[in-house]
Amino acid sequence: MTALTDYLRLVKFSHTIFAMPFALIAFVYAWKTCDTSSLSLPILLMQVVGCMVFARNVAMGFNRWADRHIDARNPRTASREIPAGVISPRAALWFVGANALLFIVLAATINPLTGWLSPVALAVVMFYSYCKRFTALAHLVLGLSLGIAPVGAYLAVAGSFAVEPCILTLLVMTWCGGFDIIYALQDAEFDRRHSLHSIPARFSARTSLAISIALHAASIAALLLFASYLPQRWPLYAGCAVFTAIIVMEHILVTPTRQRNIGIAFGTLNGLASTTLAIFLIADMSI
Domain membership of residue 31 as a residue range: 17-286
Coil, strand or helix at 150: helix
Mean pLDDT score, 62-87: 95
Q: What is the pLDDT of residue 9?
A: 77
* Position 172 in a domain: yes
DSSP state of 255: B
Q: Number of helices and strands (H, E) in the chain?
A: 14, 0
Q: How far apart are CA 55 and CA 177, in angstroms?
A: 19
Per-residue pLDDT at 283 exceeds 70? yes
Q: Has residue 1 got a pLDDT over 60?
A: no
In a domain, 272, yes or no: yes
Within a domain: 256: yes
Q: CATH number for the domain including 60?
A: 1.10.357.140
DSSP 64-79: HHHTHHHHHH-TTTTT
- Looking at the domain assignment, is residue 280 inside a domain? yes
Helix, strand, coil shares, percent, the chain, to 5:
80, 0, 20
Residue 125 scores a pLDDT above 90:
yes
In a domain, 6, yes or no: no
Whether residue 206 lies inside any domain: the answer is yes
CA distance 108 to 225: 31
Q: State the total domains in the chain.
A: 1
Give a yes or no: residue 2 inside a domain. Answer: no
In terms of C-beta distances under 8 Å and separation of at least 24 residues, what long-range contacts does 206-211 make, across chains too?
206/256, 208/181, 208/184, 209/181, 209/182, 209/185, 209/251, 209/254, 209/255, 209/256, 211/178, 211/181
Half-sphere exposure of residue 283: CA atoms within 13 angstroms, side-chain side: 14
pLDDT tens, position by position, 211-232: 999 999 999 999 999 999 999 9
Query: Given pLDDT bands bounded at 50, 70 and 90, which one contains residue 2?
Result: low
Q: Does residue 10 belong to any structural domain of this protein?
A: no
